[in-house]
């Protein structure tokens, strides 16, 4: 059986069993969601201006919506990057930050560009020289 590419995996939401070897990593057994770009994008589109959502909250909300215990962090990041790299996107991907409030350096323009976009929306940013972080992380209810 041929392996599917990551781009193929971004086309559909897929629920898989959490592998025995990964149960400790995820802290549980059950189902893991491998989210589609469309599912990630739909959630990101609902983050209001001036509010951020952490990657942890994003994955948790996706899992809940799909009746899974966890969401695959790798596929979620890949979906975010596909959204960020699409010049036609209208989804405010820059409103998604790391769990500790840090900017996502892999986004186009890096952390500095993301910090600037968030500052322009009224989000308080701390740090300098590439170590930007949301001052008070409160995740969006989206």
Q: What is the CATH number that goes with domain 6-134?
A: 1.10.10.10
20-38, pLDDT tens digit by residue? 999 999 899 999 999 999 9
Query: Which residue reads 């909300």 in tokens?
Result: 61
pLDDT classification of 1: cutoffs 50, 70, 90? very low
* Rounded Cα–Cα distance for residues 8 and 139 (Å): 29
The encoded tokens of residue 47 equal 């983050």
Rg (CA), the chain: 15
DSSP states of 10-27: TTS-EEEEPPGGGHHHHT
The phi, psi pair for 115, rounded to 5°, reads -60, -40
Which pTM was predicted? Answer: 0.86
pLDDT at 10: 85
Q: Say if CB 92 and CB 49 are below 8 A apart.
A: yes
89-117, pLDDT tens digit by residue? 999 999 999 999 999 999 999 999 999 99
Nearest to 124 by CA among 111, 112, 137, 113: 137
53-76, pLDDT tens digit by residue? 999 999 999 999 999 999 999 999
pLDDT at 5: 56
Q: Tell me the sheet residues that pair with 111.
A: none
Question: What are the domain boundaries of the chain?
Answer: 6-134
* Rounded Cα–Cα distance for residues 90 and 79 (Å): 14
pLDDT above 90 (res 44): yes
pLDDT at 135: 78
């Amino acid at each position: 059986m041929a392996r599917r590419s990551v781009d193929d995996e971004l086309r559909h939401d897929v629920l898989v069993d959490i592998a025995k070897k990964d149960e400790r990593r995820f802290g549980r057994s059950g189902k893991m969601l491998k989210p589609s770009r469309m599912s990630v994008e739909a959630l990101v589109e609902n983050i209001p201006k001036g509010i951020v959502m952490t990657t942890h909250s994003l994955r948790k909300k996706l899992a809940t919506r799909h009746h899974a215990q966890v969401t695959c962090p790798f596929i979620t990041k890949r979906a975010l990057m596909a959204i960020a790299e699409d010049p036609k996107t209208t989804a405010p991907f820059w409103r998604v930050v790391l769990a500790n409030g840090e900017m996502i350096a892999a986004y186009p323009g890096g952390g500095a560009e993301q910090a600037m976009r968030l500052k322009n929306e009224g989000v308080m940013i701390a740090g300098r020289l590439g170590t930007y972080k949301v001052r008070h992380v409160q995740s969006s209810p989206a």
